[in-house]
Amino acid sequence: MWQFAFPLAFLLLPLPLLAARLLPPDGRVSGALKAPATIVASHGEADPSSVATGGGRLIAWAAWATLVTALAGPQIVLPTQALPTTGRDLMVTLDLSGSMERTDFTLDGRTARRLDAMKSVAASFIRGRAGDRVGLIAYADRAYVVASPSFDVESVARSLDGFSIGLAGRSTAIGDGLGLSLRRLGGDEAKRKVVVLLSDGVNNAGVSKPTDVARLAKEMNVTVHTIAMGPRAFGEEGYNPDVVDVETLKTIADESGGKAFRVKTTDDLMAAVKAIDEIEPTRSLAPPAPVWRELWPYPATAAFLLTAASALIRRRGA
C-alpha cells in the first residue's frame, strides 16, 4: 500500500500558470530577428526556436510536476511482523571486580574464568528477552552504564564483548551498581521494572549500602533478582579472599520481592537465568507498527534531470 505524506502539495501544480497570468511580462529586449510566420511557411521550414521553445516548455512542465510529486512525499508501507512486547524494563547488572578472573567455572567443557562464564550465559539470557527493554550495567569500584535500556536486545548482548577486568576497578560496589540501575529505571512508565543483579564478592567499595538501596527498590516497585556466583560463601569455614556475600544478596532480593539464586558452577548459573526467564515471561504480541519507505528521492531525481534537459534545449534554441 502506498500513500502521500503531504497530498496538499499537489495544490502547487497550477502555480506556474498563475504566475504567467498575474506577473508582469518580461521587459527585456531580445536582439534576435523574428521572421513573419507567412515567410517561414513559404520556405517550408519550421522555426527552430519555436520548436525548441515548445519542447522546453513541455519538459519544464514535466519537471515541475515531478518536483511537486516529490514534495508530496510518496511512501509505501513495508510488510512487518507483530513485535513481541511485555511492557517490562529490565536492567542486567553485572560484577566486573577482580575476583571475576578466578578460573573455577567451566565453559564448553573447559576450565574458564568466572567472567567468561558470566558473559556467555548473560548474552544468551539477554538475547532471549525479546519484548523487554533491556539495559546493561557493570560495576566494580564504581558503576557505569554499558547499554541504555533498548528493545534491540542483540545490540545489548553484543555490548558484553567489551567486558574486561579493570574497566571499572577491581573492588565490588554492589550498592552503587544497584543504585545506578534504579536511576535508569526511575523515569520510565513501564508496567514492570526488574533488575537482575549478579555478584561474586562482598560489598567493599562505593558510597551506597546495598540493603539501603534494596529498600529504595521496594519503594520504587522495582523487583531485584540476585545471583550469588562463586563456590564459597562469606562466613563459611576457611579463609578465601574471593567469597560471595550470599546473605546480603538474599536480603536484597527478599526486600524487593525478587528471588535469590546461589550458583557454584556454570550449570547452576544457566539454571538460575532459566528460572528468571520463567518468573519474568516474555513473548506477548503487540500490534505491528507500520514501517514506511520514502519514495520522494525518485521523483526528485527525475525533476533534476528534466530541469537540466529543459535548460539545455533553451540554450540550443537561443
55-81 pLDDT, tens digit per residue, is 667 888 888 899 999 999 999 877 665
Q: What are phi and psi of 284, to 5 degrees?
A: -100, 135
Run of H or E residues at 102: none
Q: What is the pTM of this model?
A: 0.64
Which of 183-192, 219-228, 263-272, 285-294 comes out lowest in average pLDDT? Answer: 285-294
Residue 90 grid cell: 529490565
Q: Which residues contact 5 (CB under 8 A, 6 or more apart)?
A: 72, 73, 74, 75
Is residue 130 a contact partner of residue 140, using CB atoms and an 8 Å limit? no
Residue 51's pLDDT is: 46
* 317 pLDDT tier (thresholds 50, 70, 90): low
Distance of CA 258 to the CA centre of its chain: 29
| Residue 283 scores a pLDDT above 90 | no
Q: Is the pLDDT of residue 37 over 80?
A: no
Q: Is the pLDDT of residue 186 over 60?
A: yes
d(CA 59, CA 311): 9
Residue 166 Cα to chain centre, angstroms: 28
> What pLDDT was estimated at residue 256?
95
Q: Are 232 and 262 in contact (CB under 8 A)?
A: no
Domain ranges (residues) in the chain: 2-25+32-79+290-317, 84-285
The CA distance from 202 to 198, in Å, is 12
pLDDT above 90: percentage of residues in the chain:
52
When the pLDDT of each residue in the chain is averaged and rounded to a whole number, the result is 84
We find that the CATH architecture of domain 84-285 is 3-Layer(aba) Sandwich (3.40)
Q: Which residues in 187-211 are b (16+ Cβ under 10 Å) and which e? A: eeebeebbbbbbbbbbbebbebebe
Within 10 A of 6 (CB to CB), how many other CB atoms are there? Answer: 11
DSSP state of 27: -
User: Could you tell me the CA-to-CA distances from 80 to 30, 127, 285, 291 in Å, in that order?
Assistant: 60, 20, 13, 7
40: confidence class by pLDDT, cuts 50, 70, 90: very low
Task: Say if residue 38's pLDDT is above 80.
Answer: no
Residue 206 C-alpha from the chain's centroid: 31
Pick from 62-66, 103-107, 136-140, 290-294: least confident: 290-294
Q: Compute the average pLDDT of residues 187-205.
A: 89
Q: How confident is the model at residue 39 (pLDDT cuts 50, 70, 90)?
A: very low
